[in-house]
Structure 1
Amino acid sequence: MRKLWMTLLVATSVIALAGCARLPVGAPAAMQSTGAETITVTGYGEANGDPDVLTVEVGVSVSSTDISQAVASSNTTIERITGALGELGIDENDVQTTGFNVWPEDIYSPATGSPTGEKNYRVDSTLRVKVRQVDQAGAVLEAVIKNGANNIYGMTFGVQDTASLASQARTAAIADARVRAAQLAKELGVTLGEVQKAAEVSGGPIYPAYAAMGLGGGGEVPVAPGQITVSISVEVTFGVTR
């Protein structure tokens, strides 16, 4: 009986080892012969649209040897600018103060190049303006410049509601994933099956259109709004059969 138990134990061990040998270490999970075979791909999609909002930074910079005069001059100019924006129909909630800085600057002698001991005071004020009718962009720029703005910073066009563009980009990404999967299946000699799982890897960045503007000459400032781009990536796993 002891001999019989030893014989059975040896036989069982051999069978177990044989079973392990059928699953080599490092076999790719996507194409295992003993389980569900799959192909996973990442699809990319983009959608473009016309911008419907403009954001622009408007700056006023003044200086004076009298700090009170410098601040008063800056405030008066800002008031003229906001008044002009109001006349164009820009809502006061779409005009925001984003900067107000005051600092002293040394005055240097033209003859010696040395500080005279006197100070000049610089005042910089900045407004962020949101223009919800992009065809007003040129008129807005003309108005703020005429009323004393001497710095125009970043001008960025955007889309207030990106959901429609995101939906278009997602559809394109899924279509791209199907094309990639079909090509892989063909090259691997397998038949592409149904979708097993899918996930949106990332809602890609929204690429804003930066305005190209010309400040030469008179009249309304010409502005080219360009287009907005939304990109999305999706990861899709398809079943395959040999």
Structure 2
Amino acid sequence: MLKFTRSLVIATALSGSVLSAGFVAPVLAAETERREATIMVSGEGEATIAPDMAVISLVVVRDAETAGEALSANSAAMTEVLADLKGQGIADKDLQTTDFSIQPKYRQENKPDGTYEAPVIVGYTVSNGLTVRVRDLAQLGTIIDRSVKLGVNQGGGISFTNDDPQQTVEAARKQAVEKAAAKAKTLTEAAGVKLGRVVEISENFAQPMPQMYAAAPMAKRMDESVPIASGENRYTVTVNITYAIEQ
């Protein structure tokens, strides 16, 4: 009876070993597959293009003793500005009101004992901002000049951009892929291994920061023209490629 029990224990142990081996084998195979030899490289491509559109900020600010008076004065000036811009060919879709506000103006005086009087409203400021997309850059200086004459007294920031930069981005993207592929070829040849299939590819696209310029000072002579230099926009794409290394 003792011999039978010992044989049963040994058989069970052996059976357990075989069963465990059956579960371990797939796990090891999966780990081997995940540990495929790879090489990851990156390439950066860039392309430039002259801007074909400018975005400018025009602001009309008016002060008055009452909110109604300030609003009326502001609205009258902005109405003239809008009419003039449309008369110069700026489409409605390229005109957008931004940052409209009505703010009270306070006065607070010191008392003889060093304390302060309660603030008193002495007037109101109405600010009405307008974002304008100018698609004909030759008009830009004239638009700024005429807007200032019609009552724009703040703003003037200019950003140069492109309406449709897709072809330029594509050129930068292709250049980035070519650079990454060339880098992978150089590395694998130097290491004495063979480059395999593409395992993964991704990109990072850096939207160019618009070129910002300050408009001419509002106090300048009205018969002078605003000088404008548009420069160029640079679009950058970084591509990351992971290749398998053939054994």
What interval of TM-score do these two structures reach, taking the shorter chain for normalisation?
0.7 to 0.9
Q: Which residue of 2 aligns with 1:220?
A: 225
Gaps of 5+ in 2: 1-6
1:106–1:115 contact (8 Å) kept in structure 2: no
> Structure 1 residue 238 and structure 2 residue 240: aligned?
no
> Hey, what's the Cα distance between the residues in 2 that align with 1:29 and 1:197?
13
SS class of match (2:173): helix
Q: Given residue 195 of structure 2, which amino acid in structure 1 is its aligned partner?
A: L
Q: Given residue 129 of structure 2, which amino acid in structure 1 is its aligned partner?
A: T
> Hey, what's the Cα distance between the residues in 2 that align with 1:47 and 1:111?
65
Q: Shift of the alpha carbon at 1:66?
A: 2.5
Q: Shift of the alpha carbon at 1:168?
A: 0.6
> Hey, what's the Cα distance between the residues in 2 that align with 1:239 and 1:219?
64
Q: Which residue of 2 aligns with 1:139?
A: 142
Deviations 1:75-97 (A, max 9, x none): 01101111221221111221111
SS class of match (2:207): strand
Q: Which residue of 1 aligns with 2:3?
A: none
Q: Shift of the alpha carbon at 1:162?
A: 1.9
> Hey, what's the Cα distance between the residues in 2 that align with 1:178 and 1:79?
57
1:210–1:225 contact (8 Å) kept in structure 2: no
**TM-score, length basis structure 1:** 0.77
Q: Which residue of 2 aligns with 1:88?
A: 88
Gaps of 5+ in 1: 32-37
Specify whether residues 151 and 239 from structure 1 end up closer, same or farther in structure 2 by C-alpha distance, changes over 3 A only.
same
> Structure 1 residue 124 and structure 2 residue 127: aligned?
yes
Q: Shift of the alpha carbon at 1:198?
A: 4.5
Q: Which residue of 2 aligns with 1:192?
A: 195
Specify whether residues 233 and 65 from structure 1 end up closer, same or farther in structure 2 by C-alpha distance, changes over 3 A only.
same
Count of residue pairs the alignment pairs up: 224
Q: Given residue 209 of structure 2, which amino acid in structure 1 is its aligned partner?
A: Y
Q: Which residue of 2 aligns with 1:170?
A: 173
2:48–2:233 contact (8 Å) kept in structure 1: yes
1:52–1:160 contact (8 Å) kept in structure 2: yes
Alignment of 1:19-98 (within 5 A): 29-31=35-37, 38-98=38-98
Q: Shift of the alpha carbon at 1:60?
A: 0.9
Q: Given residue 200 of structure 1, which amino acid in structure 2 is its aligned partner?
A: S
1:213–1:222 contact (8 Å) kept in structure 2: no
SS class of match (1:89): coil
> Structure 1 residue 152 and structure 2 residue 155: aligned?
yes
Q: Shift of the alpha carbon at 1:110?
A: 11
1:43–1:174 contact (8 Å) kept in structure 2: yes
Deviations 1:210-236 (A, max 9, x none): 235444554221122222222222222
Specify whether residues 219 and 107 from structure 1 end up closer, same or farther in structure 2 by C-alpha distance, changes over 3 A only.
same
SS class of match (2:226): coil
**TM-score, length basis structure 2:** 0.75
Q: Shift of the alpha carbon at 1:181?
A: 1.0
Between Structure 1 and Structure 2, the one with more strand by share is: 1
Specify whether residues 122 and 212 from structure 1 end up closer, same or farther in structure 2 by C-alpha distance, changes over 3 A only.
closer
Q: Shift of the alpha carbon at 1:164?
A: 0.4
Q: Which residue of 1 aligns with 2:212?
A: 210
SS class of match (1:223): coil
Deviations 1:64-118 (A, max 9, x none): 1132211110001101111221221111221111132112112356998967845
SS class of match (2:84): helix
Q: Which has the larger displacement, 115-124 or 77-86?
A: 115-124
